[in-house]
Structure 1
């Protein structure tokens, strides 16, 4: 017997039904928006959302994705992206190459579609996402090369962009009030990612976050503005679910990481996060379960002030120090230090040397991989990142 939805979800659905009915009486229309997808040469995954809009349906729009620079010049305050009216149960049709699939939007308007047999080669491709009223949008899809051996998964909050999560008031101010143009990047991370991609331009880069899909356009503009490598985002939906008041961000990350490992078994992943939330634990557990599929874990260490804002303590708690696994866990305060440690660790592994990367080496338990911390590396050129790719 199916369980009834959580009371919070039923309340949210009731409010949305009344709001949507009023908007439809005023002549609002269903519109579809798309997000960057990804896949292999055999199958692909495409994301989209259906909402109500006062704008008339339009054919062949282009979604705000990494592959379309001309649409990345509109900045706005964060609260505007959350004022949406999701359309539930709308049939969405996705076409990618020779593949075609349909799905209905969920209670928040989202669709997550798998397509098989698209027949497209590796590289950036385009998919068409359409609904029955004629509205359609073209989205970018990254088809990962089956010969690529290394991939990158990056957290966003406090890893590439300083947000001071999960302290709710500061996070809310940064997300809902401040203009996206004043958001700060973490020094050296973009330079590190560009250097890694320069080693093999086919390397896929995924941005995995507990942030809401509503923020995807703003995050895309931020990443483009600061010259991060292009790549799909794996975000989630905020608010009540069928089982509780809020979705579990930790479960979202764990689920998406395991899916990437299953979908790309030939890839060894570099996992990048920070010690302000649960990244060390999540990454450590994945590495313990799949030691051959994780090359290294890179953890950006928050400053004492950032830790205080993030967790209420000036240092990382024991839980956030990470689960021990048989892969290197590298720690540094910025991307410059993390890249230095990663390069050194790779060199030591390639030569079979037992020497650890230079820096402050943490004391470890016998039989576990070392945790290595780099000394702080000052920002160059007044905080601007040197071009490495």
Structure 2
């Protein structure tokens, strides 16, 4: 038996054995919700548009993808996110600063290693309700649910799905229902694309997510403005944040995005730890799989793919563009400095000029732009993406 299988079996056994002990200490199941996405059928879209709304919408069954995790928590634990909260590192110098800290820092200035102190509840019975529809399921062996509810009655826009888990009560999670019809969408990487990392990529988990306070992370200049400008020019543009980071950090990422003006959107992360194929999940395969699923789930969207050249985004996006050129509006790559390249685990020579990543991207029959930040990418992208509703 491979060592990774043994490690996975040990992990599962530890989780199962820990639940009775935690229950005796007063801990109970808790649902940690994540934002999901879906589509609206013709009836919902027509009702939302009203008598004077658009006609000629594409037929199709509505669907919604609901994501969450079941964990054990003590009664006084935060509603979501880390199990423990620490004091902020800086003291307020004025009443306004004290108010800002109270709102944005006290709940978010936790040491990131506490994010991973979670005891998942495997196989917990769960009922998911989206509009008038409901689906019964069970959490997987790591406590996650990833459920599709079809033929719901929700109109386009943000809604809430309802998750009822045995012993955990009812929790609501955000659900972005995308309007029908051809439109533009954004898929954005997070580390080194939306959020700046100053440490080696192999230590990002140990630094950005395990040590640094969330309030100390820095946004990539101009990236939030770029996404908002695209959404303003193309109303109804959804944004999906696709990352190889762990699901555990999603609550912290939400606060980071709100603080720095990034548009709301589902974050599609991954689960760390041993799998049936190895010690760790493949970040490349995770992104490839989610890209394919987004194209299947949202078939009328043409995507703008945004990433960085630190590791594999040019290769993954280039493959997607070669295979689905009609579904990719453009590829935007943030160029890292030579020092950032080394920290990101890339080559000491700029990888956009050599190697399979550059060749794959060059062979894609879509516009490709490379810039150092969101401001430069905005100047280089096709103007119609930022100034007119080309996909309406």
Instruction: Kindly state the Cα deviation for residue 227 of structure 1 after the two structures are TM-superposed.
Output: 0.1
TM-score relative to the length of structure 2: 0.81
Instruction: Kindly state the Cα deviation for residue 164 of structure 1 after the two structures are TM-superposed.
Output: 4.9
**Which of the numbers 287, 300, 309 marks the counterpart of 1:275?**
309
Q: Which residue of 1 aligns with 2:365?
A: 326
Query: In structure 2, how many angstroms separate the alpha carbons of the residues matched to 1:265 and 1:139?
Result: 24
Instruction: Kindly state the Cα deviation for residue 148 of structure 1 after the two structures are TM-superposed.
Output: 4.6
Query: In structure 1, how many angstroms separate the alpha carbons of the residues matched to 2:37 and 2:68?
Result: 13
Instruction: Kindly state the Cα deviation for residue 168 of structure 1 after the two structures are TM-superposed.
Output: 2.0
Deviations 1:200-258 (A, max 9, x none): 23100110001111000011111110001111111111111122110111111101111
Give the unaligned 5+ runs of structure 2. Answer: 41-61, 83-101
Instruction: Kindly state the Cα deviation for residue 111 of structure 1 after the two structures are TM-superposed.
Output: 0.4
Q: Which residue of 2 aligns with 1:37?
A: 36
Q: Which residue of 2 aligns with 1:115?
A: 149
Q: Which residue of 2 aligns with 1:203?
A: 237
| Aligned pairs (5 A) from 1:284-299 | 284-299=318-333
Q: Which residue of 1 aligns with 2:74?
A: 54
Query: In structure 2, how many angstroms separate the alpha carbons of the residues matched to 1:104 and 1:136?
Result: 15
8 Å contact kept, 1:39–1:142: yes
| Aligned pairs (5 A) from 1:204-353 | 204-311=238-345, 313-317=347-351, 318-321=355-358, 323=360, 324-344=363-383
Runs of 4+ in structure 1 off by over 4 angstroms are 61-64, 70-73, 344-347
**Which of the numbers 209, 213, 217 marks the counterpart of 1:175?**
209
Instruction: Kindly state the Cα deviation for residue 308 of structure 1 after the two structures are TM-superposed.
Output: 1.3
Question: What's the Cα RMSD here?
Answer: 2.7
Indicate yes or no: 2:113 matched with 1:85. no
Indicate yes or no: 2:27 matched with 1:28. yes
Query: In structure 2, how many angstroms separate the alpha carbons of the residues matched to 1:280 and 1:46?
Result: 29
Q: Secondary structure at the match of 1:6?
A: helix
Give the unaligned 5+ runs of structure 1. Answer: 65-69, 352-389
Query: In structure 1, how many angstroms separate the alpha carbons of the residues matched to 2:66 and 2:34?
Result: 7
Instruction: Kindly state the Cα deviation for residue 316 of structure 1 after the two structures are TM-superposed.
Output: 3.2
Deviations 1:36-91 (A, max 9, x none): 01000101000011001111899xx7999xxxxx9866212211111100000101
Query: In structure 2, how many angstroms separate the alpha carbons of the residues matched to 1:185 and 1:308?
Result: 20
Q: Which residue of 1 aligns with 2:138?
A: 104
Compared CA separation, residues 200 and 216, structure 1 to 2 (3 A):
same
Deviations 1:115-136 (A, max 9, x none): 0111111001111111122522
Query: In structure 1, how many angstroms separate the alpha carbons of the residues matched to 2:317 and 2:263?
Result: 21
Instruction: Kindly state the Cα deviation for residue 114 of structure 1 after the two structures are TM-superposed.
Output: 0.5
- Relative contact order, CA 8 A, sep 6+: which one is greater? 2
Compared CA separation, residues 87 and 166, structure 1 to 2 (3 A):
farther
8 Å contact kept, 1:57–1:134: no
Instruction: Kindly state the Cα deviation for residue 16 of structure 1 after the two structures are TM-superposed.
Output: 2.1
Q: Which residue of 2 aligns with 1:7?
A: 6
